[in-house]
Amino acid sequence: MKKALSFLLLLFPILSWGCPMEERFIFFPDSTVDVTPRDAGLSFEDVFFTTGDGVRLNGWFVPYQGSKITLLWAHGNAGNISHRVENLKLLHQQVNISVFIFDYRGYGRSGGKVSEEGTYKDATAALQYLRSRADVEPKRIIFFGRSLGAAVAADLAAREDCLALILETPFVSIREMARAAFPLLPIGPLLRTRYDVVEKIAKVRAPLLVLHGDQDEVVPYEQGKKVFAAAVGPKEFYTIRGAHHNDTYIVGGAAYFRALRNFIERAASRLPTG
The residues assigned a catalytic role are 147, 216, 245
> Distance between CA atoms of 258 and 274, rounded to whole angstroms?
27
Length of the chain: 274
Q: Which residue blocks in 133-247 are alpha helix, DSSP H?
A: 148-159, 174-181, 197-201, 221-230
Quote the DSSP letter at residue 273: P
Q: Which residues are paired to 184 by β-bridges?
A: none
Given a contact cutoff of 8 angstroms between Cβ atoms, the answer to whether 267 and 161 are in contact is no
Q: Which residues are paired to 61 by β-bridges?
A: 45, 100
Name the phi and psi angles at 49, rounded to 5.
-145, 165
| Residue 55 amino acid letter | V
> Distance between CA atoms of 191 and 89, rounded to whole angstroms?
36
> Distance between CA atoms of 159 and 271, rounded to whole angstroms?
20
Given a contact cutoff of 8 angstroms between Cβ atoms, the answer to whether 125 and 58 are in contact is no
Give Cβ neighbours of residue 39 (< 8 Å, ≥ 6 apart).
Answer: 85
| Residue 268 amino acid letter | A
* DSSP H or E segment with residue 101: strand 98-102
